């Protein structure tokens, strides 16, 4: 009864790995319906490729969860999507804009195409239902012809896949440990074999040993089932380890995109650099760390220019008047897909606006 | 009216240079064989949760001791016991070498004046309907006497200045919701400092805060340790921050201390298999290979803890000795101790290897099912 022999419900993707599976284009989200809404997400664009783990990192309140919930249309009021497109590419090559689906289509698409593992598994499971019922519930809702017994069988299969024995189907959530509950959530999210799995801080409430077990489990399942993951966390060191690519968010904008090793070894945005130096290292020399001075800006009253400039060690006069856009960093030899939103890299925009361009500081040109 | 004691009085009370610790080795606060068992509810149930068992702990002036462990290992219980927010089941708490068990309101106040606590969640530990001024003046009145007018203002200024909330006027009349998480935690620290304590018990002071401001709070606490010579107990689940901040680290597993020593050697050369597992599990982008892959199992039930070493069900090196007899904390190097039979000189001791190698393979369903069965049997 090894899990490796139980085949997933659908055959692995016919579409090639590396093709985009989810494209988020210029997604904007406001909070508040009145005349003066807060722009919590401004023109965020992201592409998730088939079979990859994309990490989203940033401080709390920077809009990383909003981006994920906006893309799945799970935003509760007063959250309002004000613009953009979320294109989902199915296995057979057809594309749909999630934001244009009607209610019935959306309902059918959810969980089957994209599923979510929420933060804090203890709050996401219903305490009064057995977990078997909760897993099979989703399966039954999407497979009209299926009997309860078949759904339960599939639930058992899913549980075994995440390393929990099938007799736990009759347990209530409180009978499971935190790590097991998180596994149940993952089993539930994978039960319809979705293409995209969004994980919103799935390991924040767990201790490091359990966190490592869950991370390994996800990596293992991804190899076998071939889904793509958007992994949201504030723990950058964890992201560097598991993600293929990382997007760093600050104050509702994506400020840097790069592969995880590039991001770690060669940060290009001052915020990324500061964030990487906010974690005391476990190995290597002990060094004095300062964190990032100040606190994130008030999104309801955001001044023009770069939102990070008040906390930035490299801010100069142009930063208060020009809003930086994502461009290819001004360092030779960087991967063509790298993007950074910082005026130190964007000499052209600085000159066009009539300011004196400033040279790149040493920390941001590492190779 | 009594003259208010100032910080300098307290500093002179704590004798000597704070960093010359082993010389004037007199712990400010000491716990001896501290134990806490919580009764399990239920009809005629005589079961107990063994939350903390036989913990010895010493806090020295001007030194930080970190208590590291996973959730449910009893770290916070120790903080609450040391703050005397609940009584111990057995064992002693000694303040300056004298039994300090508070009996009644007055002796509790006297104790609290010297041993203050900071909680994990500054959103919860400050009252939302009161201003910063109220929180601090209340603490000052309780611990320093009823200051009036200019004296009170001076005390407030000094407190906020000490936690770097300057200019003072900008913060003193704010409500908690008007402050950021880091500022709120600073107010909570200022409130603790109002008592001018000798010991600060910090129960996960940074885990609710944003990553970018965590270091600011840690650096502030370290600054207070150096300037005021306060003894700090720093409770955390993040062993990397313990290495950064603490002089000494104790690692807890299932209610017992399994390893102790100075932070640098505990993190760089862990002795106990659990500590090795803990450090091998922490993400480290510099060294992707040195990972404890395929570790399995969970912390044991504390109602019926496993006999012998509490880590034995998960330990790859466990032998019959580990399953029957409880290992004491043994010396394993200069100032270091580990509770593992592998470091004893018993003939039947287990052979220790590297945890990273021992957990080489990924967990299989069969193995986790077996682990699950044994867990079930333990219940």
> Is A286:B218 a contact under the CB 8 Å cutoff?
no
| B283 inside 8 A of chain A by CB | yes
A188 and A69 belong to one structural domain: yes
Q: Do A291 and B241 touch (CB under 8 A)?
A: no
pLDDT at position A16 over 80? no
Q: How far apart are the first and last CA of chain A?
A: 49
Q: Give the other-Cβ count within 10 Å of A212's Cβ.
A: 25
A228 and A256 belong to one structural domain: no
Give the closest of B183, B212, B237 to A275, CB-based.
B212
CA–centroid distance for B360 within its chain: 32
Residues 12-71 of B with CB under 8 A from A: 70-71
pLDDT at position B286 over 80? no
Q: Give the other-Cβ count within 10 Å of A11's Cβ.
A: 10
A272 and A327 belong to one structural domain: yes
pLDDT of residue B81: 93
The 10s digit of each residue's pLDDT in A110-133 is 888 999 988 776 678 899 999 999
> Tokens 């401080």 map to which residue?
A59
Size of interface A-B (CB pairs under 8 A): 131
A315 and A353 belong to one structural domain: yes
Bridge partners, residue B256, by sequence: B253
Q: Which range (A278-292, B28-42, B262-276) has the least confidence?
A: A278-292
pLDDT at position B363 over 50? no
CB-based contacts of A253, cutoff 8 Å, min separation 6: A42, A43, A44, A63, A307, A341
> Is B260:B251 a contact under the CB 8 Å cutoff?
yes
The 10s digit of each residue's pLDDT in A267-283 is 999 999 988 888 888 88
User: Domain containing A271 — which CATH number?
Assistant: 3.40.50.300
Considering chain B, what is the average pLDDT of its residues?
A: 84
A173 and A318 belong to one structural domain: no
| Cβ neighbours of B267 in A, within 8 Å | 282-283
> Is A335:A346 a contact under the CB 8 Å cutoff?
no
pLDDT at position B131 over 90? yes
Cα–Cα distance measured from residue A266 to residue A363, given in angstroms and rounded to the nearest whole number? 8
Split at pLDDT 50, 70, 90, the class of B294 is low
Give the closest of B211, B244, B281 to A209, CB-based.
B281
> Is B83:B199 a contact under the CB 8 Å cutoff?
no
Q: Considering the entire predicted model, what is its pTM?
A: 0.83
A57 and A137 belong to one structural domain: yes
pLDDT at position B304 over 80? yes
**Closest Cα partner for A302 from A30, A84, A40, A66?**
A40
The 10s digit of each residue's pLDDT in A337-364 is 899 999 988 888 889 888 888 888 888 8
Q: Give the other-Cβ count within 10 Å of A2's Cβ.
A: 9
Query: B356 exposed, middle or buried (CB, 10 Å; 0-12, 13-18, 19+)?
Result: middle
A215 and A261 belong to one structural domain: no
Which of A243, A277, A301 marks a domain boundary? A243
If you write DSSP's letter for every residue of A38-89 in order, what string do you get?
EEEEEEEEEEEETT-EEEEE--TTSSHHHHHHHHTT-PPTTEEEEEEEEEEE
| Exposure class string for B236-249: b at 16+ Cβ within 10 A, else e | bbbbbbbbbbbbbb
Cα–Cα distance measured from residue A89 to residue A50, given in angstroms and rounded to the nearest whole number? 10
Q: How far apart are the first and last CA of chain B?
A: 61
Q: Give the other-Cβ count within 10 Å of B373's Cβ.
A: 12
Percent of chain A with pLDDT over 70: 95
Distance from CA of B268 to the nearest CA of A (A): 7
| Cβ neighbours of B376 in A, within 8 Å | none
pLDDT at position B37 over 50? yes
| B379 inside 8 A of chain A by CB | no
Distance from CA of B191 to the nearest CA of A (A): 22
Q: Do A212 and B281 touch (CB under 8 A)?
A: yes
Residues 93-132 of B with CB under 8 A from A: none
A231 and A287 belong to one structural domain: no
pLDDT at position B17 over 50? no
| Cβ neighbours of B183 in A, within 8 Å | 295
Distance from CA of A216 to the nearest CA of B (A): 8
Query: A28 exposed, middle or buried (CB, 10 Å; 0-12, 13-18, 19+)?
Result: middle
**Closest Cα partner for B67 from B102, B31, B25?**
B31
Give the closest of A168, A282, A296 to B267, CB-based.
A282
Return the higher-pLDDT residue of A234 and B30.
B30
pLDDT at position B235 over 90? yes
Q: Do A295 and B213 touch (CB under 8 A)?
A: yes
Cα–Cα distance measured from residue B62 to residue B228, given in angstroms and rounded to the nearest whole number? 8
| Cβ neighbours of A3 in B, within 8 Å | 364-365
Residues 240-279 of B with CB under 8 A from A: 240-241, 243-245, 264, 267-268, 277-279
pLDDT of residue B24: 56
The 10s digit of each residue's pLDDT in B71-121 is 888 888 999 999 999 999 999 999 998 888 888 888 999 999 999 999 988
Give the closest of A1, A234, A238 to B283, CB-based.
A238
3 state DSSP class of A344: coil
Which of A200, A224, A243 marks a domain boundary? A243
Work out the average pLDDT over B135-153: 90
pLDDT of residue B40: 85
Q: Do A208 and B70 touch (CB under 8 A)?
A: yes
The 10s digit of each residue's pLDDT in A285-332 is 777 787 788 778 888 888 888 999 888 889 888 898 888 999 898 777
Domain count, chain A: 2
> Is A256:A247 a contact under the CB 8 Å cutoff?
yes
Give the closest of B212, B293, B372 to A278, CB-based.
B212
- Give the range with max mean pLDDT: A5-9, A222-226, B312-316, B327-331: B327-331
Cα–Cα distance measured from residue A304 to residue B209, given in angstroms and rounded to the nearest whole number? 27
Q: Which range (A57-66, A94-103, B11-20, B156-165) has the least confidence?
A: B11-20
Q: Do A163 and B214 touch (CB under 8 A)?
A: no
A103 and A42 belong to one structural domain: yes
Q: Do A216 and B215 touch (CB under 8 A)?
A: no
**Closest Cα partner for A84 from A327, A252, A260?**
A252
In chain A, which residue's Cα lies nearest the Cα of B265?
Answer: A283
Which of A243, A267, A302 marks a domain boundary? A243
Percent of chain B with pLDDT over 70: 84
Structure tokens at B59: 């806090």
Domain enclosing residue A87, as ranges:
3-243
Give the closest of B237, B286, B288 to A283, CB-based.
B286
Give the closest of B180, B211, B282 to A234, CB-based.
B211
In chain A, which residue's Cα lies nearest the Cα of B237?
Answer: A207
Output the CA–CA distances (angstroms, integers) from residue B288 to A241, A261, B280, B296, in the order listed.
Answer: 7, 11, 10, 19
A202 and A99 belong to one structural domain: yes
Cα–Cα distance measured from residue A209 to residue A279, given in angstroms and rounded to the nearest whole number? 18
| Cβ neighbours of B288 in A, within 8 Å | 241
The 10s digit of each residue's pLDDT in A39-90 is 889 889 999 999 899 999 988 888 888 898 888 898 888 888 998 999 999 8
A133 and A270 belong to one structural domain: no
Structure tokens at B192: 């603790």
**Closest Cα partner for A206 from A146, A136, A295, A117?**
A117
Distance from CA of A62 to the nearest CA of B (A): 11
Split at pLDDT 50, 70, 90, the class of B288 is low
Q: Assign residue B278 a region (left: φ > 0; alpha: ψ between -120 and 50; beta: otherwise).
A: alpha
A200 and A269 belong to one structural domain: no
pLDDT of residue B291: 63
If you write DSSP's letter for every residue of A312-332 in order, what string do you get?
-TT--GGGGT-----B--SST
Distance from CA of A102 to the nearest CA of B (A): 38
| H/E stretch holding A340 | strand A339-340
pLDDT of residue B292: 60
Considering chain A, what is the average pLDDT of its residues?
A: 86
Full set of structural domains in chain B with CATH: 7-20+29-252 (3.40.50.300), 291-378 (no CATH)
ipTM score here? 0.80
What single-letter DSSP state applies at residue A1?
-
Q: Do B219 and A291 touch (CB under 8 A)?
A: yes
SS (H, E, C) A200-257: ECCCCCCCHHHHHHHHHHHHHHHHHHCCEEEEEECCHHHHHHHCCEEEEEECCEEEEE
Give the closest of B70, B219, B287 to A209, CB-based.
B70
């Amino acid at each position: 009864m090894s899990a490796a022999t139980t085949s997933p419900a659908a055959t692995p993707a016919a579409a090639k790995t590396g093709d985009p599976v989810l494209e988020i284009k210029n997604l904007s989200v406001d909070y508040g319906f009145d005349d003066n809404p807060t722009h919590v997400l401004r023109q965020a664009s992201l592409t998730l490729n088939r079979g990859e783990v994309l990490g989203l990192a940033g401080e709390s309140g920077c809009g990383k969860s909003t981006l994920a919930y906006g893309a799945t249309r799970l935003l509760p009021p007063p959250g309002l999507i004000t613009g953009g497109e979320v294109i989902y590419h199915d296995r057979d090559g057809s594309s749909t804009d999630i934001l244009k689906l009607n209610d019935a289509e959306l309902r059918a698409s959810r969980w089957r195409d994209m599923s979510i593992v929420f933060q804090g598994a203890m709050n996401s499971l219903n305490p009064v239902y057995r977990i078997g019922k909760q897993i099979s519930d989703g399966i039954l809702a999407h497979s009209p012809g299926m009997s309860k017994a078949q759904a339960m069988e599939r639930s058992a299969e899913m549980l075994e896949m995440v390393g929990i024995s099938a007799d736990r189907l009759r347990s209530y959530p409180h009978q499971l440990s935190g790590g097991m509950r998180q596994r149940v959530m993952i089993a539930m999210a994978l039960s319809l074999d979705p293409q995209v799995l969004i994980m919103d801080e799935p390991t924040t409430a767990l201790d490091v040993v359990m966190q490592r077990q869950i991370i390994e489990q996800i990596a293992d399942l991804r190899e076998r089932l071939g889904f793509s993951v958007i992994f949201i966390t504030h723990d950058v060191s964890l992201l560097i380890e598991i993600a293929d690519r990382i997007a760093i968010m600050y104050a509702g904008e994506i400020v840097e995109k790069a592969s995880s090793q590039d991001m770690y070894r060669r940060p290009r945005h001052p915020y990324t650099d500061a964030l990487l130096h906010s974690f005391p290292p476990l190995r290597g020399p002990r060094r004095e760390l300062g964190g990032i001075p100040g606190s994130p800006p008030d999104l309801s009253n955001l001044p023009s220019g770069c939102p990070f400039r008040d906390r930035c060690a490299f801010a100069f006069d142009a930063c208060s008047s020009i809003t930086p856009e994502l461009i290819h960093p001004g360092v030779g030899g960087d991967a063509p897909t790298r993007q950074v939103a910082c005026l130190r890299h964007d000499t052209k925009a600085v000159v066009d606006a009539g300011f004196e361009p400033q040279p790149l500081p040493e920390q941001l040109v590492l190779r | 009216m009594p003259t208010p004691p100032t910080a300098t009085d307290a500093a002179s009370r704590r004798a000597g240079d704070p960093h010359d610790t082993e010389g004037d080795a007199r712990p400010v606060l000491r716990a001896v064989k501290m134990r806490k068992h919580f009764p399990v509810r239920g009809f005629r149930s005589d079961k107990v949760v063994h939350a903390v068992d036989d913990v010895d702990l010493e806090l020295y002036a001007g030194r930080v001791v970190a208590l590291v462990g996973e959730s449910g290992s009893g770290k916070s219980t120790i903080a609450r016991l040391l703050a005397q927010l609940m009584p111990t089941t057995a064992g002693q708490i000694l303040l300056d070498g004298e039994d300090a068990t508070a009996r009644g309101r007055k002796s509790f106040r006297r104790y609290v004046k010297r041993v203050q606590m900071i909680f994990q969640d500054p959103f919860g530990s400050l009252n939302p309907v009161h201003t910063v001024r109220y929180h601090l003046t209340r603490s000052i009145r309780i611990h320093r006497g009823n200051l009036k007018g200019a004296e009170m203002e001076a005390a407030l200024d000094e407190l906020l200045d000490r936690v770097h909330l300057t200019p003072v006027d900008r913060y003193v009349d704010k409500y908690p919701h008007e402050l950021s998480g880091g500022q709120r935690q600073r107010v909570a620290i200022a409130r603790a400092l109002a008592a001018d304590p000798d010991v600060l018990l910090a129960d996960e002071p940074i885990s609710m805060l944003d990553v970018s401001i965590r270091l600011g709070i840690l650096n502030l606490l370290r600054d207070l340790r150096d300037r005021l010579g306060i003894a700090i107990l720093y409770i955390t689940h993040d062993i990397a921050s313990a290495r950064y901040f603490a002089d000494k680290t104790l690692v807890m597993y299932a209610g017992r201390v399994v390893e102790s020593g100075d932070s640098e050697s505990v993190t760089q050369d862990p002795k106990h298999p659990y500590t090795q597992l803990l450090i091998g599990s922490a993400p480290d982008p510099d060294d992707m290979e040195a990972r404890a892959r395929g570790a399995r199992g969970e912390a044991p039930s504390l109602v019926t803890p496993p006999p012998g070493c509490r880590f034995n069900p998960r330990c790859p090196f466990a032998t019959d000795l580990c399953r029957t007899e409880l290992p004491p904390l043994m010396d394993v190097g200069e100032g270091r101790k580990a509770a593992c039979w592998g470091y004893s000189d018993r003939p039947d001791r287990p052979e220790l290897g590297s945890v990273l190698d021992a957990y080489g393979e990924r967990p299989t369903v069969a193995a986790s099912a077996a682990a699950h069965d044994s867990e079930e049997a333990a219940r």
